[in-house]
Amino acid sequence: MSKRAAKEKKGVTDGYKEILYICTMPPEETADYICSLPYTLIESIIEAALSNENNEIMYEIFAARVTLLRYTYLHDTNAKKALRKLLRICQVLGCVGYFNFGDWEAFRDEENNSGALTAHEILFVKYPAFRVHFPILKEKGIIEEIETGLKWNRDKTAAAEYFDSLECTERNRRWKVVEDVFGFKDLRIILNNHRGKQGKEKHTRDFDEIKKLLNLE
């Protein structure tokens, strides 16, 4: 192996390690961390994420963090700095289209809020499967869009069961986001009480309907 190839290999290896490290940290710390990294290391991270050797796992992890920065922390100063840094390197590497930077001109405008997410788009970030399920649930009247967010037209316990069944992009499932969007309170307590009385395997009738509708296991 040539010195150049060995150097490139080491860069990718370092990039893999950094992606795994970013994956384990709380999402709200991601922006500060990226801001602190040298450009060369961020370049290694992006190259590792796009490498064919990682079976897309590293890409999915890193792309999810970029999306979280773009959507969840849009109005945070450090998040904007981190995204500008990532964007600059992606422009140099010619891979901007692989990551969701959104409308960059609107994003850079401190006074422009056009990048703000709707209620259900916030949940799309946290629960990617919800993006696929949303139009189906909406068509069947299980969910509807209202001025303040979304409305759940079934048993509240079924909502807790449904979101508990989905994979969450954050290390720890955040019930508050679901509660804020739907106007619920104490979903985790509601779910635990239901399971305490009925057992984990016995679902509500509404959730059984949703499982059948969405072909959930």
Q: What pLDDT digit, counting tens, does each position of 156-173 carry?
A: 999 999 999 998 876 556
pLDDT of amino acid 161: 94
Q: Which of 118, 116, 102, 115 is nearest to 180 (CA)?
A: 118
Three-state secondary structure call for residue 43: helix
Give the C-alpha separation, 143 to 91, whole Å.
39
Print burial letters for 174-186: b (CB count within 10 Å at least 16), e (below 16).
Answer: ebebbbebbebee
pLDDT of amino acid 5: 41
Q: What is the pTM of this model?
A: 0.50
Which ranges of 25-112 would DSSP assign to H, the alpha helix? 30-36, 39-50, 57-71, 77-93, 104-108
What is the pLDDT confidence band of residue 115, given thresholds at 50, 70 and 90? very low
CB atoms under 10 Å from CB of 139, counted, come to 10
Contact between 169 and 126 (Cβ < 8 Å): yes
State mean pLDDT over 11-20.
Answer: 79
- The proportion of the chain whose per-residue pLDDT surpasses 70, expressed as a percent, equals 79
pLDDT of amino acid 173: 65
Phi/psi-derived region of residue 207, left when phi > 0, alpha when psi is between -120 and 50, beta in every other case: alpha
How many residues make up the chain in this entry?
Answer: 217
Q: Which of 24, 131, 123, 150 is nearest to 68 (CA)?
A: 123
Place of tokens 């979304």: 150
DSSP-assigned letters across all residues of 113-143:
-TTPPPHHHHHHHH-HHHHHHHHHHHHTTSE
pLDDT at 101 over 70: yes
